[in-house]
Amino acid sequence: MKFNTSKSDEKIAYALLRAVAGVNLLMHGLSRLLAGPEAFASHLTVQFAHSPLPQSLVRGFGVALPPIEGLIGLLLLIGLKTRWALIAALLLMLVLTFGTALVQDWAITGSQLMYALVFAALLFLRQYNSWSLDGCMNKA
């Protein structure tokens, strides 16, 4: 059976997947910011206590991560600077995967691989990113 999908279906699917990924990252960052960046940084410091990473580096990363997640998530949600936001999201997943692999948290590492797959697919299919601020600005 052959399905006849239109370009608008592809654009809708892209917009919704981009928005879901954006909300996910935005809420990761926002919830951590609302709880207090120091709380998350302290949690990471405990989680990485037995890793070879210096505690000051882990704490600094823990403080910086929530606003970075929030900003990337917001950009993806509204579709602004989508290409750069997706590249940043993929680089973030690379860093996060390195860290979780270092402490051998394979369940979270697998989850991060799924995020990376979604971000890579969105980057690959960016030609369908017309329902976005980027799309609106390119039409003008």
Element (H, E) at 116: helix 106-124
* pLDDT per position as a tens digit, 23-63: 999 999 999 999 997 999 999 999 999 999 999 999 999 99
Place of tokens 């936001």: 85
pTM: 0.92
The confidence band for 2, taking pLDDT boundaries of 50, 70 and 90, is low
Domain ranges of the chain: 9-139
Q: Give the three-class secondary structure for 54.
A: coil
At 39, the amino acid letter reads: A
1 pLDDT above the threshold of 60: no
Q: How far apart are CA 52 and CA 65, in angstroms?
A: 20
Reported as a single tens digit per residue, the pLDDT across 57-81 is 999 999 999 999 999 999 999 999 9
Structural tokens at position 91:
């680089």
